[in-house]
């Protein structure tokens, strides 16, 4: 959190205001940032659809991966499926979300059906099949693709590892094998057969009635062209195959070592018919053969177990990573001459295979995690985890344009003092950043620390830093290029810190909160107060101290006499209270699973919740600047609200 004089002055009005509980409401103005853990990619109708964090990204031009359309969802998309120009997302904590991409530049989002614990879905003709941890596997009628309607089918009580569909056949894969169903009347799924197989970690695949189940470092294959009598085929002869993708009658295998190996899908239904015609008892057909490019003859073959050659290995052409020679990522998607690698560490790599020579057109980054922020003079400075520092310009309507970026180690918190930004950068210490030109932040200096720095505030030319399980530091930044450690002390668990001209306050985990005077040669302990719960943030103003005390919510203490704080009142926020920011008689609280809360503290002894707005993922950081209220929500990105008092 960061000090703002206007907030401190407004908070003095708490003591003068009548103790009348007020109500209010959050008006969501914008959401931004496509980030979090990359989950899924598909290519449909010339558009690349990517799922990550709490959103989709729709990319119409593979040559310009940065020009994607951001589609916010109210849940994390664990799985996505397409039918024509309609995309269905299995959004955890929300349900089935329908997105109309008839105009890819202007997607229309429908929250179609509530299934808070949804994990998988697949489309089977005019049937959408979905798996929910509570409901099991259920079906929806897609006669109107934009409005999936529940069918009378009672469902199947099962928790799939994979849920697959192909031409009227639905396959539910579990750890012990797979069950094969045919789509029946009224949305029913009629069981046709069961396949015994020990499914390993990873996704199963179904393409042209060939089922691929991960097992033993590759994939077992089954021909289910006759759903009632599956035929076991030879395993995929590619050692280490971890993920597959298909284009017509050819496939690609991505190995755990990062190779991409094309293969022909020989055997399949034709192999089954040949075995039956011969009348023999051997029910195993010929397996797929490793082959050339599924799209172009010059794609480049890398045989199983072969050490890739820079001249033959397509990876070098695509990524330019001559040192590693491997594809990034853990899964792939291919269609219409486009290839997407889903890289859990970086985002989505886009490759164009249509121009005669395969080329990497770039990536859609998705590694950020919005943790904390500060806003001033229309600019927003966001500590975005492994993505570093992001700088945005907030418009009058609450929209935001991201204009600047500085890559750092693990950006956790930011504070401002004039033209200098202080950044708590996890294991990489405290950093000072020149923001005279917000669009071009420039690193000035660094103060190393043995602590994992998680929060910072600024007062004058000093930075007060929270060091997590380590403790607390004070750093002299009078010369921003050469920050100098002034004081360091170990404590229990310091997550949140606050400072004014005379004192600094910090939350000390389960040991409560501490107040120090920071004038003189060394800080002096003024008081240490135990409170219920896990203390993880503090904010002082108007003779009061506000405390985020984990699962116990928000607490208020009278610190008119800082040597003897007096606890006044508290209120639960229904989740872990992580961070707070005070504006006037309202305390804004970011909570772990409950988004953002507004708490009326007109009566400090009886704080009351005035409003709440849920968010995707973890509510981590909150800030208010008089215009807007901002919430950093992990993989859900940045939310900008207008808070209206009723």
Per-residue model confidence as pLDDT tens digits over 541-556: 999 999 999 999 999 9
Residue 45 has what pLDDT?
Answer: 74
Residues 199/215, Cβ–Cβ less than 8 Å: yes
| 314: containing domain | 234-366
Q: What pLDDT digit, counting tens, does each position of 307-325 carry?
A: 333 333 343 444 333 334 4
- Given 366, 395, 411, the domain boundary residue is 366
Give the residue-averaged pLDDT of 524-536: 95
Domain count for the chain, please give it: 2
Longest dimension (CA), the chain: 96
Q: Considering the domain boundaries, does residue 490 fall inside one?
A: yes
Residue 46: inside a domain, yes or no?
A: no
Pair 376, 273 in one domain: no
Structural domain contains residue 103: no
CB of 244 closer than 8 Å to CB of 254: yes
Residues 493 and 624 both lie in one domain? yes
Question: Are residues 358 and 433 part of one domain?
Answer: no
Domain boundary among 346, 366, 386: 366
Alpha-carbon span 55 to 109, nearest angstrom? 11
Q: Based on the domain organization, do 307 and 355 belong to the same domain?
A: yes
Give residue 215's pLDDT.
Answer: 93
Mean local confidence (pLDDT), 416-441: 98
Kindly tell me if the per-residue pLDDT of 531 is higher than 90.
yes
pLDDT tens-digit map of 199-220: 988 999 999 999 999 998 899 9
Average pLDDT value for residue range 140-145? 96
- Same domain, yes or no, for 431 and 322? no
CA–CA distance from 452 to each of 25, 290, 320, 443 (Å)? 36, 49, 34, 19
CATH of the domain at 490: 2.130.10.10
The 10 Å Cβ neighbour count of residue 124 is: 23
Q: Give mean pLDDT, residues 248-260.
A: 84
Is 89 inside a domain boundary?
no
pLDDT at 392 over 80: yes
- Mean pLDDT to the nearest integer, 4-14: 35
Question: Averaged over 239-265, what is the pLDDT?
Answer: 86
Together in a domain, 545 and 561: yes
Asked if residue 287 has pLDDT above 60, the reply is no
CB atoms within 10 A of CB 614: 17
pLDDT for res 23: 67
Task: State what percent of residues in the chain have pLDDT above 70.
Answer: 86
388 is a domain residue:
yes
pLDDT, tens digit (0-9, with 9 covering 90-100), for 55-105: 999 998 888 888 899 999 999 999 999 998 999 999 999 999 999 999 988
Among 327, 342, 366, give the residue marking a domain's end.
366
Plot region of 600 (φ>0 → left; ψ -120 to 50 → alpha; else → beta): beta
Does 452 fall in a domain? yes
Between vectors from CA 228 to CA 223 and to CA 230, what angle results, nearest 5°?
25
Say if residue 352 is in the same domain as residue 440.
no
Distance (Å, rounded) from C-alpha 350 to C-alpha 333? 10
Same domain flag for 607 and 595: yes
Asked whether residue 564 is domain-assigned, the answer is yes
Low-confidence winner among 187-196, 340-349, 400-409 (lowest mean pLDDT): 340-349
Kindly report the pTM of this predicted structure. Answer: 0.87
* Residue 273: φ, ψ to 5°: -65, -40
> Do both 390 and 269 map to the same domain?
no
Confidence of residue 353 (pLDDT cuts 50, 70, 90): confident
Same domain, 297 and 428: no
Residues 507 and 628 in one domain: yes
Q: Tell me, yes or no, whether 426 and 357 share the same domain.
A: no
Contacts of 277 (CB under 8 A, 6+ apart): none
Structural domain contains residue 404: yes
């Amino acid at each position: 959190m960061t000090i703002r004089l206007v907030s401190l002055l407004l908070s003095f009005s708490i003591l003068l205001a009548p103790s009348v509980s007020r109500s209010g409401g959050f008006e969501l103005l914008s959401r931004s940032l496509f980030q979090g853990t990359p989950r899924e990619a598909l290519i449909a109708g010339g558009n690349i659809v990517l799922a990550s964090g709490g959103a989709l990204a729709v990319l119409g031009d593979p040559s310009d991966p940065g020009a994607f359309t951001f589609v916010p969802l109210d849940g994390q998309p664990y799985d996505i499926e397409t039918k024509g120009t309609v995309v269905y997302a299995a959004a955890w904590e929300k349900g089935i979300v329908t997105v109309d991409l008839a105009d890819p530049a202007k997607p229309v989002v429908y929250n179609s059906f509530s299934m808070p614990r949804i994990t998988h879905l697949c489309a089977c003709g005019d049937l959408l099949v979905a798996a929910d941890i509570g409901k099991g596997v259920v079906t929806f009628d897609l006669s109107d693709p934009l409005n999936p309607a529940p069918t009378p089918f009672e469902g199947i009580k099962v928790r799939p590892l994979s849920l697959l569909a192909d031409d009227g056949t639905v396959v539910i894969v579990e750890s012990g094998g797979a069950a094969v169903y045919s789509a029946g009347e009224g949305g029913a799924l009629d069981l046709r057969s069961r396949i015994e197989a020990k499914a390993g970690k990873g996704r199963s695949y179904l393409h042209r009635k060939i089922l691929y189940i991960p097992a033993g470092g590759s994939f077992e294959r089954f021909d289910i062209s006759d759903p009632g009598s599956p035929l076991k085929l030879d395993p995929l002869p590619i050692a280490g195959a971890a993920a597959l993708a298909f284009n017509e009658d050819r496939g690609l295998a991505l190995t755990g070592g990062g190779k991409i190996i094309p293969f022909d899908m020989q055997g399949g239904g034709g192999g089954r018919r040949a075995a039956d015609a011969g009348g023999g008892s051997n029910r195993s057909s010929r397996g797929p053969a490793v082959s050339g490019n599924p799209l172009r003859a010059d794609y480049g073959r890398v045989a199983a177990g072969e050490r890739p050659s820079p001249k033959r290995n397509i990876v070098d052409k695509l990524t330019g990573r001559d040192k590693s020679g491997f594809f990034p990522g853990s899964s792939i998607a291919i269609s219409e001459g486009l290839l997407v690698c889903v890289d859990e560490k970086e985002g989505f790599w886009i490759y164009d295979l249509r121009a005669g020579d395969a080329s990497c057109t770039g990536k859609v980054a998705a590694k950020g995690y919005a943790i904390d922020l500060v806003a001033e003079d229309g600019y927003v400075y966001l500590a975005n985890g492994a993505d570093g520092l992001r700088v945005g310009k907030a418009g009058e309507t609450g929209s935001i344009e991201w204009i600047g970026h500085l890559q750092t180690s693990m950006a956790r918190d930011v504070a401002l003092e004039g033209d200098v930004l202080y950044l708590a950068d996890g294991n990489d210490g405290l950093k000072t950043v020149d923001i005279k030109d917000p669009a071009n932040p420039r690193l000035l200096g660094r103060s190393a620390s043995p602590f994992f720095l998680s929060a910072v505030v600024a007062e004058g030319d000093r930075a007060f830093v929270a060091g997590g399980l380590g403790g607390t530091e004070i750093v002299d930044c009078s010369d921003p290029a050469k920050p100098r450690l002034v004081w360091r002390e170990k404590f229990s668990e310091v997550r949140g810190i606050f400072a004014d001209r005379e004192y600094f306050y910090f939350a000390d985990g389960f040991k409560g909160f501490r107040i120090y005077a920071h004038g003189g040669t060394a800080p002096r302990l003024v008081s240490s107060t135990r409170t219920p719960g896990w203390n993880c943030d503090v904010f002082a103003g108007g003779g009061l101290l506000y405390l985020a005390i984990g699962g116990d919510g928000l607490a208020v203490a009278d610190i008119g006499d800082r040597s003897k704080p007096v606890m006044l009142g508290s209120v639960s926020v229904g989740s872990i209270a992580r961070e707070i920011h005070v504006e006037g008689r309202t305390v804004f609280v970011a909570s772990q699973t409950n988004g953002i809360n507004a708490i009326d503290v007109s009566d400090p002894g009886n704080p009351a919740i005035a409003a709440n707005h849920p968010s995707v993922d973890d509510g981590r950081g909150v800030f208010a600047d008089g215009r807007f209220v901002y919430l950093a929500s992990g993989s859900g990105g940045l939310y900008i609200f207008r808070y209206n008092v009723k």
